[in-house]
Amino acid sequence: MENYEEKEKKEKKTEELKKNEEKTKDLNEELKEKEATKKEEQKSTNENEVKKEEKNIKKENEKIETLEKKKEKKVKSGRTIKWIIIAIILILVSLIATTGFAILNMQNTNIISGVTVEGVPLKGLNREQAIQKLEEEFNNENKKKVHLTTADFEYYIEAEQIEFQYNIEETIDYAYNYGRVGNIFKNNYEIFLANFFGKNFELKSTYNQELLDNIINDISTKIPNAVIESDYYIEDETLIITSGTEGNSIDKELIKEKIVEKLRNNDGKDIIFEVKKCKPQSIDIERIYNEVHSEPKDAYYTKEPFKVFPHVDGIDFDIEQAKEILKEEQTEYRIPLKITHPNVLTKDIGDEAFPDLLGTFSTRYVASNVNRTTNLKIAANKINGTVLAPGETFSYNRTVGERTIAAGYKNAAGYEAGEVVDMLAGGICQISSTLYDAVVYANLDIVSRSNHMFLTSYTPAGKDATVVYGAIDFKFKNTRKNPILIKMSVQNGIAKADIYGIKEDVEYEIAIDTTILNYIPYSTVYKDDPSLEPGVEKVKQSGMNGCKSITYKIKKLNGVEVSREVLSSDTYKPMNKIISRGPIVEVPPVQETPVEPTPIQPTPSEPIVPETPTPEIPKEPEQEEPIQPVEPSKPDDSEDEGWQGGIEENPVINGI
């Protein structure tokens, strides 16, 4: 029993001890928590105090910075005011100086210092003086000429022939207004630049591109042994194609650039150009077929409104057969044609379809020259009766065809290498020239035309048209609303071309005016002729001056001129006077036998007195009178019939 009670007491004491331990533990934890709380509160209090202190310090710093900024602002404000005052003073001085400078410049009526045109100084010149100075500098007649040359050919071009001119007045306006037309600051700035760095103006120029192209084409056909391109024409029921001939050609674009550059640079140097060998273009049978092929159409006309529709022949050929024919190397190919004529031809509808004479021109020829007259009639008959539809182009070479013996042409006087010689079909250029003038008077457009190498006897300068089969053609276009009819006749010493059609609502009177720019004097050439007696001279060919000309087409309405356009610019070479002379006989020198002189003994009483030499009075050199250019004149009557112009040094030419 006692053990049991003691055990219970022990257990109670143990429990009490545990409880006490737990209480102690809880008390310790509470103490720890309190201490931790106190620490946190203390820490928070410290942090708050630090923050407050930092805020206070920051405020103090901001106050200090604010005070310093105020001080700096006061200093800067003082400096700014100082600089503003200085700037205002400088601006006022600048404005006063600029205004004064501008006023002085406004009173200056001359071009400012430092201004040049193409390097020519214009300082101190007024507008009129500056124009005069540039005119003297750039419009020098000698510098406005272009001399083109190659190994055996030369060609001269006047600036006026391509309407080349400097825009001097326009350029002077720019130069004069520089530093003058802007505001004060811009003007003064430009004046400053001109004085210290200079201001150069480019002298602009203009020219007629079409006239220059015509001259280049003329050169390309007149160089010695020029290439002859392939061509074709229709004769009866045969298409005749000529293969052309290899020859010389030029770089047209390059020469064109050199001509313009030379005129713009205002120098007097020659232009040396290259001539290259080239082959004619290949025959394009497809193109030829498309050009000649047509379906037959009857001619007819309507009365209200009155309009003519000419007939069209049906033309066809076998292309494959033509290609086989062209495989052979020949100078001429003959392709058979299938011609289908319509039921009603243009000539069948009567002259009432072409009631009005639109243009006419005639030239004279020597009827007693049978061969040349024959040539004129053959060419004229080929053209006579030709009807040209609106928009259609006429080709002399394709209408007349190749000039051959088979076609009936005879040898007649013409020009070759600058001399009168007999050549096949000589004289037919008179037909092309006569037609050319009639076409111009009919107010039709010229497509292609070249002047002769020499002046002709049957037309004045600027009114001729040379032709060379395969090389030089005369073409024009019917630019009227209705077809035209060409009538050509050769009889009683007169070759005549008439253009008929229908007058339009507005019909202009056409005039042709030619201005001779200058004459080129001919030279005299002597050639030995063994058939003549020694010392005997005989004029083989009369000389004729060449010239440069520009021709205008003038349109008038009711007698009042309404337009004037350049028709052509031409250069005609002088034809040398050729004198044949007998051979010079050389006389052998006479051999003399020397004789020994016999000495003469002087007499002592008569001494020899030497002669006083008489000074010889020199003779004044004889002054040779310069050759004065004269108006071109026709050759002698014996050569008039052969005076057809031509191409020098090209024996192939037979179209003169």
Which burial class, exposed, middle or buried, applies to 454 when counting CB atoms under 10 A from its CB (0-12, 13-18, 19+)? buried
User: Terminal CA-to-CA distance of the chain, rounded, Å?
Assistant: 176
Confidence tier at 100 by pLDDT (50, 70, 90): low
Strand runs labelled E in 542-609: 546-557, 560-572, 577-581
CA atoms within 13 A on the CB side of 413: 19
Q: Work out the pLDDT band at 99, boundaries 50, 70, 90.
A: low
Q: Is there a domain that residue 424 lies in?
A: yes
Query: Kind of pairing, strands 115-117 and 120-121?
Result: antiparallel
Residue 484 token pair:
């035209």
For residue 378, being part of any structural domain is answered with yes
- Indicate if the pLDDT at residue 267 is higher than 80: no
Whether residue 179 is predicted with pLDDT greater than 60 in this model: the reply is yes
Contact (CB, 8 A) for 200 and 117 = yes
Q: What is the largest CA-CA distance in the chain?
A: 223
Distance CA 651, CA 224 (A): 9
Distance set, CA 49 to CA 35, 39, 53, 251, 295 (Å): 21, 15, 6, 102, 119
- Over 60: is that where the pLDDT of 625 sits? no
Which residue in this structure is represented by tokens 């289908």?
A: 340
Cβ 458 vs Cβ 436: under 8 Å: no
- For residue 200, CA distances in Å to 122, 175, 195, 345 come to 10, 8, 12, 69
Which residue type sits at 422? D
At 55, give phi and psi (nearest 5°).
-60, -40
Number of domains making up the chain? 1
Block residue for tokens 């103490």: 31
**Domain span at residue 405?**
231-245+280-581
- CA dist 608 and 214 (Å) reads 85
366: pLDDT strictly greater than 90: yes
Q: How confident is the model at residue 651 (pLDDT cuts 50, 70, 90)?
A: very low
Average pLDDT over every residue of 585-607? 53
- Residue pair 244/230 in contact (Cβ under 8 Å)? The answer is yes
Residue 486's nearest CA partner among 396, 413, 417 is 396
**Which of 282-289's residues contact partners 24+ apart within 8 Å by CB, and which partners?**
282/230, 283/230, 283/241, 283/243, 283/326, 283/333, 285/319, 285/322, 285/323, 285/326, 286/319, 288/232, 288/239, 288/241, 289/317, 289/319, 289/322
**CA dist list (Å): 61 to 50, 73, 456:** 16, 18, 113
In a domain, 206, yes or no: no
Closest CA to 429 of 647, 635, 613: 647
Q: Rounded mean pLDDT of 439-448? A: 97
Q: Sheet holding 577-581: strands in order across?
A: 524-528, 577-581, 537-541
Using CA atoms, how far apart are residues 151 and 359, in angstroms rounded to an integer? 43
Q: Report pLDDT for 106.
A: 57
Q: In the prediction, which pLDDT does 87 show?
A: 78
Answer yes or no: is 130 within a domain: no
Instruction: Using DSSP, state whether 142 is helix, strand or coil.
Output: helix
Handedness of CA 365, 547, 631, 460 (dihedral sign): positive
> Residues near 634 by Cβ (< 8 Å), separated by ≥ 6?
457, 544, 640, 643
For residue 185, the model assigns a pLDDT of 75
How many percent of the chain have pLDDT more than 90?
38
Q: What is the mean pLDDT of the chain?
A: 81
470 is a domain residue: yes
> Residue 138 contacts by C-beta under 8 Å, 6 or more apart in sequence?
118, 166, 168, 203, 266
Token reading at 483: 């077809």
The pLDDT tens digits of the residues spanning 21-53 come to: 777 777 777 777 777 777 777 766 666 776 777
pLDDT of amino acid 222: 85
Which range has the worst mean pLDDT, 264-268, 398-402, 549-553?
A: 264-268
Q: Are 512 and 462 in contact (CB under 8 A)?
A: yes
Relative orientation angle of helices 184-197 and 2-107, to the nearest 10 degrees: 80
In this prediction, residue 615 carries a pLDDT of: 41
Given a cut of 80, whether residue 71 has pLDDT beyond it is: no
**623 pLDDT higher than 50:** no
Q: What is the pLDDT of residue 4?
A: 63
Going by C-alpha positions, the residue among 411, 361, 373, 413 that lies closest to residue 637 is 413
| pLDDT of amino acid 627 | 36
Q: Which residue did the predictor score with more confidence, 272 or 605?
A: 272
3-state helix, strand, coil in the chain (%, to 5): 35, 25, 35
Three-state secondary structure call for residue 612: coil
Quick check: is 636 in a domain?
A: no
pLDDT at 610 over 60: no
- CA 192, chain centre distance (Å): 39
* Residue 324 vs residue 611, higher pLDDT: 324
Q: How many residues make up the chain in this entry?
A: 656
Determine the residue type at 638.
S
Q: Residue 587: its pLDDT value, please?
A: 60
- What is the band of 417 on the pLDDT scale with cuts at 50, 70, 90? low
| Amino acid type, 591 | Q
Distance CA 392, CA 410 (A): 31
Lowest mean per-residue pLDDT among 132-146, 197-211, 281-295: 132-146
Please tell me the distance from the alpha carbon of residue 217 to that of residue 293, in angstroms, as a whole number.
29
Beta pairing partners, 491: 494
User: For residue 654, what pLDDT is reported?
Assistant: 36
Neighbours of 243 (CB within 10 A): 18
* Nearest one of 245, 232, 332 to 288, comparing CA atoms: 232
Model pLDDT for residues 471-517, shown as the tens digit of each residue: 899 999 999 999 999 999 999 999 999 999 999 999 999 999 999 99
How many helices (H) and strands (E) the chain has is answered by: 12, 32
- Looking at residue 21, its pLDDT comes to 74
4 within domain boundaries: no
159 burial class (0-12, 13-18, 19+ CB within 10 angstroms)? buried
Q: Which residues contact 529 (CB under 8 A, 6 or more apart)?
A: 538, 580, 581, 582, 583
Residue 102 reports pLDDT greater than 70: no
Q: What is the pLDDT of residues 519-570, one digit of tens each?
A: 999 999 998 888 888 888 889 888 999 999 999 999 999 999 999 999 999 9
Residue 31 CA: distances (Å) to CA of 16, 44, 46:
22, 20, 22
Residue 18 placed within a domain: no
HSE (CB half, 13 Å, CA atoms) of 265?
A: 12
- CA proximity to 195, closest of 121, 97, 120, 96: 121
Supply the pLDDT for residue 541.
Answer: 87
The model's pLDDT over 301-319, given as tens digits with 9 standing for 90+, comes to 887 777 788 889 999 999 9
* 169 vs 74, residue with greater confidence: 169
pLDDT value for 636: 36
305: preceding bond cis by omega (within 30 degrees): yes
Average pLDDT over residues 9-16: 74
> Side chain identity at 32, as an amino acid letter?
K
- What SS3 class is residue 554? strand
User: How do residues 194-211 score in pLDDT, each as one tens digit?
Assistant: 888 889 998 888 999 988
User: Mind listing the pLDDT tens digit for each residue in 340-353?
Assistant: 999 998 878 877 78
- Residue bearing tokens 């009603």: 344
